[in-house]
């Protein structure tokens, strides 16, 4: 495999791995993250002036904060679900380690990643609608699928011109 292409594939594979790990890590401390986001964006100050006058985004993030606080007080075990969400991200990131080591032989991981990213879009749209998530927030979620698809597709594309040893299948 051309060293330059291999370096590009490995760099983008690292982008996918780091993105998955960071996404997983952020699923664990939800309450503190949302509190930080509320404070950093001034959503609480805007709402203090009148929730009706606050932006849709400020109203939504404050609603999330209230729900997380109530859930934490009443049923903290529900956050175990987000711990498992994080684990899922970590496990998927591990699959990409094989592609990092041998991108041609493990090219299937890029196909898996592209399919997962494509499935994220209808998943976010359908379940977001069922759960009452605003459309604009669902679009942000869909953007994660697009931003993951692009490096996976590039890696897949760049590795498809290289052949395995005779008798090996990809």
Q: Tell how many helices (H) and how many strands (E) occur in the chain.
A: 7, 0
Q: Is the pLDDT of residue 19 over 80?
A: yes
When pLDDT is cut at 50, 70 and 90, the band that residue 167 belongs to is low
Q: What is the pLDDT of residues 100-152, one digit of tens each?
A: 999 999 999 999 999 999 999 999 999 999 999 999 999 999 999 999 999 99
**DSSP H helical ranges for 27-55:** 30-41, 43-48
Split at pLDDT 50, 70, 90, the class of 165 is low
The tokens of 79 are what? Answer: 């956050």
Q: What is the residue range of 87's domain?
A: 3-159
Is 166 domain-assigned? no
Domain assignment present for residue 167? The answer is no
User: What pTM was computed for the model?
Assistant: 0.87
Instruction: Specify the pLDDT at position 106.
Output: 95
pLDDT in tens, 43-69: 888 777 766 667 888 889 999 999 999
Q: Do the beta carbons of residue 82 and residue 32 sit within 8 Å?
A: no
Domains held by the chain: number: 1
Q: Is the Cβ–Cβ distance between 104 and 164 less than 8 Å?
A: yes
CA 102 to chain centre: 24
In a domain, residue 59? The reply is yes
């Amino acid at each position: 495999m051309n060293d330059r292409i291999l370096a590009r594939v490995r760099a983008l594979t690292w982008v996918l791995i780091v993105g998955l790990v960071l996404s997983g890590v952020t699923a664990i401390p939800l309450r503190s993250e949302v509190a930080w986001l509320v404070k950093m964006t001034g959503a609480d100050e805007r709402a203090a002036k009148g929730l009706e006058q606050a932006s849709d985004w400020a109203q939504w993030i404050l609603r999330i904060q209230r729900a997380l606080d109530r859930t934490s007080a009443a049923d903290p075990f529900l956050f175990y679900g987000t711990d498992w969400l994080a684990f899922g991200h970590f496990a998927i990131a591990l699959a990409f380690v094989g592609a990092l080591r041998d991108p041609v032989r493990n090219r299937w991981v890029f196909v898996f990643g592209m399919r997962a990213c494509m499935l994220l879009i209808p998943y976010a749209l359908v379940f977001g609608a069922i759960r009452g998530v605003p459309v604009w927030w669902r679009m942000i979620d869909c953007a994660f699928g697009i931003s993951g698809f692009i490096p996976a597709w590039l890696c897949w594309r760049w590795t498809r011109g290289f052949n395995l040893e005779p008798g090996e299948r990809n």
